[in-house]
Amino acid sequence: MLYVYTKSDHYVNTYLVDPGRHRRTTGLLSTVFLLVGLFLIGQVVYPVLGWYVFALPTFSPPIVSPLSASAYAPPAVSLPTAALIAPVDNNPSYDASSWFPNAKPFTGVLNTDLRTYTISVPKLKIDEATVEIGGDDLKKSLVAWPTSAVPGNYGVNIIFGHSELPQFASPNNFSGIFTHIMELGQGDVIYVDYDGIRYKYEVVDKTVVEPTDLSVLEQRFDDRYLTLITCVPPGTVWQRGVVKAVMSQS
């Protein structure tokens, strides 16, 4: 028996009778995929470019501080690690100890028996976020630099927190809890709850430094300071954003 194969009417009508329809369909799909690809790339590129174009110029000279011009000059007392140089690893992520690779790892004894406390930043909707003193895992908590002053005491209390792309950041998720700290301005309030006591700090300054700049880890003891540090632009590990605050007397 002989068999004969013929083209279906659908094939003839779609591709032979109207080949332009096939080209239009292919072109439409190509355009859709291109737009989707550009959108996804834009989700990563725009926040970074926006940081440099819109955010950075707003505080590249520091915001006006109510303190004297010498308030943030190099302090008389600083960490002995500030002069030590080590190989630079510019790819820190959730490991707090790698954020300033020139700093010698802490091997001493912490100056307090209390290992955790909390911090709240009303403007950023951060409410009683856990801070671990001398911790290392920024996915689980904020981390206080181990040689920091104890909250409420004279010296500088230094806290690290991670940032991520703004569209994914949440004040309730440690993976991006400090994404927006560089939006804080002079006079904005930060609360630290330590050992049953609430301390109030007010923002006085903010700046951006390189990972090799250890000056932000230095101690000074003429007042009670708080320093918040994150990676900038948000979602990258290129530089460090630093917010400085002083304990309020009110």
With a pLDDT cut of 90, the percent of the chain lying above it is 46
What is the pLDDT, as a whole number, of residue 167? 86
Contact 226, 192 (CB under 8 A): yes
Of the candidates 187, 181, 163, the one whose C-alpha atom is nearest the C-alpha of residue 243 is 181
What is the pLDDT, as a whole number, of residue 87? 35
- Across 190-226, b (16+ Cβ under 10 Å) vs e yields bbbebeeeebebbbbbbbbbebebbebbbbbeeebbb
Contact 233, 183 (CB under 8 A): no
Average pLDDT over residues 25-50: 62
Q: Distance between CA 112 and CA 241 in Å, rounded?
A: 27
Average pLDDT over residues 222-240: 92
User: Both tokens of residue 42?
Assistant: 């834009």
Q: How many residues does the chain have?
A: 250
Q: Distance between CA 42 and CA 97 in Å, rounded?
A: 31
Kindly tell me if the per-residue pLDDT of 67 is higher than 50: no
pLDDT digits (tens, 9 = 90+) for 120-176: 999 999 999 999 998 888 999 999 998 899 999 999 999 999 999 888 889 999 999
First-residue to last-residue Cα distance in the chain: 102
**Of 193 and 25, which is predicted with more confidence?**
193
What is the pLDDT, as a whole number, of residue 155? 95
pLDDT digits (tens, 9 = 90+) for 78-102: 333 332 223 334 445 567 777 787 7
Q: Which residue spans within the chain are E strands per DSSP?
A: 116-121, 126-133, 142-144, 155-160, 189-194, 197-209, 224-232, 239-247
Residue 243 pLDDT level (bands cut at 50, 70, 90): very high
With a pLDDT cut of 70, the percent of the chain lying above it is 59
What is the pLDDT, as a whole number, of residue 84? 29
